[in-house]
Structure formats: C-alpha cells, structure tokens
Chains A and B, each alone.
Chain A
C-alpha cells in the first residue's frame, strides 16, 4: 500500500487573498536573477504589475502578440533566462499552441507559461474560457501541468515550479483567491494529497477505505470538500484527494485511493476530455483496476457568456450539489441524493457554489 500524503484544510467560508501569485513571483525574482517576466497586455490582471514595479528592467511588454511572446520567451530561455509568460489561459495555450510546441516544449526549455481565469471562472464566454487548456498542454511531451487550489498553494507553487525540468503550464484563478489550506500546508509537485478537516477525520479511518474517492484539482477542491461533508452526513464516506499536478500524475496515490474505494469521481473546471478525468481513467484502466468512474466537468460542450461565474458553475455542472449527485448515483444509493446547503460568504470571502 502506498503511503498517502495527508493535509489539513480550513473550513468555508474561506477568507481570500489578493495577488498571491504576483507577490510570490517578486519573491522568486529577488532570489533568482535569471527570472524575467513577459506580459501579453494583461499585466494587472495577471498580478505582474507587482513585478513590473520591482524589476522594470526584467519586465517585457509583449503586447497582444502571444505567438511572438512565446517565441521570444523560448529564445530568452536558451540564453539562460527563466521566462514567466502571462496572459489569460486561452491566450497562453489555445492561441500559440504551435509556438509552444516548436519554440519551447520540443527544445525542453524552462519557460513557465501562466494562464489566468480557468474554465468557467470567466463569465466572458467561449473566447475567454480556458476549458481545454489542460488537455492541450498535457498532450505536449515533457510539459508539466499544474492547477492549484488556493492562495497558500499559489504562493508556494512559483518557487516549486522554478526548478521543474523543462516547460511548465500553470493555470491560476484570477482575482480573489480563497485560502483553503493553513499556513503550514506544504505543496508538493510530486504527490497528490488526501485532504482532511482539522480535528475531524474526513476519510473514514487510517486505511482510507471509503465509499467514493473524489479526485479533484484547482477550483473543484472547495466544492469537493463541501460535497464530502454532505455525503458523510448522509452515510456515504468520501475521501477527497487534491491533485495539483495533472502531469506528471501521481498515479500511485490515485491507484491507492481508488483501490480502497467503491467508486471514483473526478472533478475539474475543464472539459472532461483530456484533463484530470481522462488522466485518472487512463491510470485506472492501465492498472486493470475496475472502479465505476464518473467525470464531473464540462460535458464536451462550450459554455457561454454570463454575468457571473456561479451561474456558469451551476449551469455546466460544477457545483457541490453536482458532486453529491454524481457520487450518490455512482454508488447506486437509494432515494434522492442529500441536499447541499448554500454556504454563506460575505464580501471578501469565498464559498463554493
């Protein structure tokens, strides 16, 4: 049995932090003179106005020209710089895909590609909703793909990814970032983590045996934690595993948790094709581990423009209730699924839909 890594979590509503990424990049740049920062006309939105203020000589306006930005970054990396490239996730992956392949990934250069506003966290419609960025980046040989859950992990991931081999894609929530993990949380790029409430076992015991394993990443960590609570109150034990690194996937933890569970549910703020759900399915199938699997995420559809993200999370099946319903269904429990209470959140706080 694989030793599992366990991490405590805080409870909702979560307080939020502003610009954890931007501050972490400034910190890294202080220690690492090779760090340079490129921005594609979204400097404040990508929190690198902080970098620009501190290191104007190492900040490069690429303008609205993402293909060129990636090519310039590749050449800078060849000279020993470590370029961090910034825009929204759609514009750092979908638009310059061929440039990422040829100018960055094939030569295995340490370019760090950062894409903000993942999935339907943007109400800006399909042009601004990165719903297949993980799938695109995961398909590229040698690319590390990261989708962190909160401000604590965001603050740590910048230094952690600096030393990852080859290129890295990091997708980040924009704006107010929830604090789900306590300050002593330690992000690992190697290990997925079984999450547990402080002072209360989430997973039904030290052997992690559970009815359903919720394997989740990024913005789906908070709803998964809430769903696990609802399920447990209804008599179904759910274990929540935070998987910040989609590639390379910690298959040992996935298999260990799935082995000890009756069913598996993945959840991602992304299309169910090519991302975390696909990676887990491939892992289970190749191991010959038969477990009923359901993938929560965008069901092979584009979303739409709207006023706010909670509407889109609800419409496209990314809420706590969707997770509860999916788990209840895959476990074939009788009756209707338990109801998820609406979690209150004041201004400046965050609670999953």
Chain B
C-alpha cells in the first residue's frame, strides 16, 4: 500500500480523495460529490490505515458512495488511476452507483439498507471458516437507518457478537428530500446501536486521526463496533454554494475548476516537506 498512515498522511489522502472525486464528477457536471466530501476521512482512515488488501473485506452499503472507494483505491495503488476517467461513462465498470462489476469493495449495493446484512454474512462466514483474523469494514450512511433491514442486521450482528465487524456510519444529515432530521428523527443514534449490542463511538467525522485510532482499537473489541462519523457534504470545499444539494451536487465547469484549485492548494499546504512527519 502506498498510503502514509501518519495523521498528516491520512489528511493528505482525504484531500486527494476529494480531488479525485471532483475530477470524476466534473465531466458530467453533476454527481455524487457530496458523498465523497463527507466520507473522505472515513475512506482515508480505512484504506490508508486499517484495511489489509487480500485479507480484510470492505462493504460499501450505499452504492452512491463508491466514488470515494474508487478514489481511495486509486490513491493507495489498488486501482489504476487511469480507470477513474471512465467513472459513470457508458460501458464502464466504474458505475456511479456501485454494482456487481464495480472494482474495489467486496460488496456494494445501490438498493439502500442492504449492506450491513452482507457485512454480517461475511463476518459470520469468516468465523465459521476459522478465519478469526479477518476484519470486515462496512460503510453505511445515516439515511439508511430508516430502512428496517439495517436494524435486522444490527440485531443479528449483536446477537452473534461479530466482533470483527466495524461499521463506519457517515452521519452527514443528508438525504434526497433534505436533511435527515427533517424527514425522520434517527437520534439517539449511538444509543440505538448500543442497545443492539454494539460498541458505539460518536466522533467528528472529519477528524481522520480520531477515526484511525478508533478503528485500530476496534481490532481488539469483543463486540461489533460502529463509528458514528458526524460530517458535512460540503466539507473541504469552501467554494461550494451554501445551498449545494448534498446528495447530488451540481458542478459546472467553472465551479469544478475552482474546486480542483482549492483542493490542490490544500494538498500543497499538507505536503510532507512543509508539515513534516508526525
């Protein structure tokens, strides 16, 4: 893996994920950029510091987030970066909503609320087969908590004490119809998972070091773990208009150019020569 698992390395990786996502969305002028912006630190922490390719498993439950997985994989040498140019194009396997032919995650699904069942199945299967070392990382989103199947799976994983299962829940308070909390009250999120037998951490989802530290601690947990990552779909891009639709951001050419410039400048500020290794 090419990633630098130091805090500054992970911050660079998160910024690079955002830049890759802008480049992937720009040709069409709109797309699932908000998902990459809110989840960049989660993908950076998993792909940069926790996930062991060939050993561990990654599930991307909301298939719209697969853009972040593609970006993280390209940055860490798991995916040819040239392939990113085909994102969302006709005939491309890098479909905008992840499918069976999508590279990178072991499993992704566009029909929301189903990924945690697959992740629990992976974790259970690994245990049945005696593969006690394998971890399964499942990326979920807060809107998905409205789907009943998530709670079926949460109860199942809690009952079976699937301690090698870790959920990264992107709590960006965004869904198609508006803020999640204006559609359905999902709080208290942490207490819900705890009540289902999970260890729950509620943290700043843009603090990549905190995510990485919590993921590392999860390797020794006795129960499944959920990281409730409080995020914004506009994080890291000051140039976005305040009313940008987090689910499906419009990114005309001039805005795409401004976004790329802003992120390149940020990468420059985070460059190892200036920040040193911490």
Contact = CB atoms under 8 A, between A and B. Distances in A.
A208 B43 CA distance: 66
A81 B114 contact: no
A99 interface: yes
A72 B111 contact: no
B120 A68 contact: yes
Nearest to A70: B117
B100 A107 contact: yes
Interface string A58-78: 101011010110111111101
Contact of A68 (B106, B109, B117, B129): B117
Contact of B125 (A71, A76, A99, A102): A76
A47 B138 CA distance: 34
Nearest to A106: B100
A58 B128 CA distance: 8
Nearest to A75: B121
A302 B86 CA distance: 49
Given A76-B121, A76-B124, A79-B125, 9 more contacts: A57-B128, A63-B152, A67-B117, A71-B116, A71-B117, A75-B125, A103-B114, A103-B118, A106-B100
B94 interface: no
B196 interface: no
Contacts of A60: 124
B156 A63 contact: yes
A65 B125 contact: no
B152 A75 contact: no
Contacts of B148: 67
A331 to B, nearest CB: 48
Contacts of B156: 62-63, 65, 68, 72
Interface centre among A72, A74, A98, A106 (most CB of B within 10 A): A72
Contacts of B111: 98, 101-102
Contacts of A72: 117-118, 120-121, 124, 153, 156
B118 A71 contact: yes
Given A103-B109, A107-B100, A68 B149 contact: yes
A52 to B, nearest CB: 15
A285 B124 CA distance: 48
A298 to B, nearest CB: 29
B137 interface: no
A99 B120 contact: no
B152 A67 contact: yes
A71 B128 contact: no
A36 interface: yes
Give the interface residue-count category, chain A. Answer: 20 to 34
Interface in A26-79: 36, 57-58, 60, 62-63, 65, 67-68, 70-76, 78-79
B262 interface: no
B128 A75 contact: no
Interface string B87-127: 00000000000011000001101110010111111101110
Contacts of B110: 102
B155 interface: yes
B129 to A, nearest CB: 7
B248 to A, nearest CB: 21
Interface string B219-242: 000000000000000000000000
A282 to B, nearest CB: 28
Contact of B118 (A62, A74, A98, A101): A74
B239 to A, nearest CB: 36
Contacts of A107: 100
A33 B114 CA distance: 27
A75 B120 contact: yes
Contact of A71 (B99, B106, B153, B155): B153
Interface string A245-287: 0000000000000000000000000000000000000000000
A71 B128 CA distance: 17
B126 A103 contact: no
A293 to B, nearest CB: 37
B109 A102 contact: yes
B125 A81 contact: yes
Interface centre among A36, A63, A76 (most CB of B within 10 A): A76
A70 to B, nearest CB: 7
Contacts of A57: 128
A253 to B, nearest CB: 34
B133 to A, nearest CB: 15
Nearest to B121: A75
Contact of A74 (B99, B121, B124, B129): B121
A68 to B, nearest CB: 4
Please name the 4 residue pairs, one residue from A and one from B, whose CB atoms are nearest each other, closest first. A71-B117, A75-B121, A65-B152, A68-B152
Contacts of A102: 109-111, 114
A36 B122 CA distance: 14
A70 B153 CA distance: 11
A71 B151 CA distance: 13
Contacts of B120: 68, 71-72, 75
Interface string B196-231: 000000000000000000000000000000000000
